[in-house]
Amino acid sequence: HTSPHPAFTPTLSSSWRKSVLSSYDLVLTGHHLSDSVESQILKLGRGVSILNLHGIKPVSCINGTTYLRPFINVGKEVLREYLEPDVYSEDESNGDERKGKRNWVRNRLLKDWRAVEHDIERKFGNLEEEVEEFREFFDK
């Protein structure tokens, strides 16, 4: 589950995955709640509007490929506990803070935040529900 080439950056790796996966009609991903929270935090850092302050969507369609994320509301630790050790795997590059802002958010910011606010992911999930309510209101 590592990048196909050590020189791949997270952006290049993502582009490579998307190009390969675009040949499929349906893709199931292993994204979980922490992934979604990381996305929200990165969006905060970019200064997005409140209407775009959502995490990873449970279902999306990109260039004709439907992506389903059945674990997007499940915490990473819950998945680790549920899945057998030989089934759960994590990309080795996720631990390298030199490989992008997301890794810093994942390994420093959220780790430290959890130490003082153990249910921070749930709170970001609540924020996402409120954002969706705002979007529905403004779409009327």
pLDDT in tens, 24-58: 999 999 899 999 999 999 999 999 998 899 999 99
How would residue 81 be classed by pLDDT, with cut points 50, 70 and 90? confident
Is the pLDDT assigned to residue 60 strictly greater than 80? yes
- pTM value is 0.79
CA–CA separation, 56 and 51 (whole Å)? 14
User: Considering all CA atoms of the chain, what is the largest pairwise distance in Å, rounded to the nearest integer?
Assistant: 48
Q: Which of 32, 101, 54 is nearest to 109 (CA)?
A: 101
Whether residue 56 contacts residue 41, with contact meaning beta carbons closer than 8 Å, is answered with no
> For the chain, what's the residue count?
140
User: How far is 53 from 7, CA to CA, in rounded Å?
Assistant: 31
Residues above pLDDT 70, as percent of the chain = 87
Across residues 65-73, what is the average pLDDT? 95
Residue 64, judged by CB atoms within 10 A of its CB (0-12, 13-18, 19+), counts as exposed
| Sign, CA torsion 22/24/25/30 | negative
Give me the residue label for tokens 């921070």: 120
Helix count (H) and strand count (E) of the chain? 6, 3
Contact 97, 107 (CB under 8 A): yes
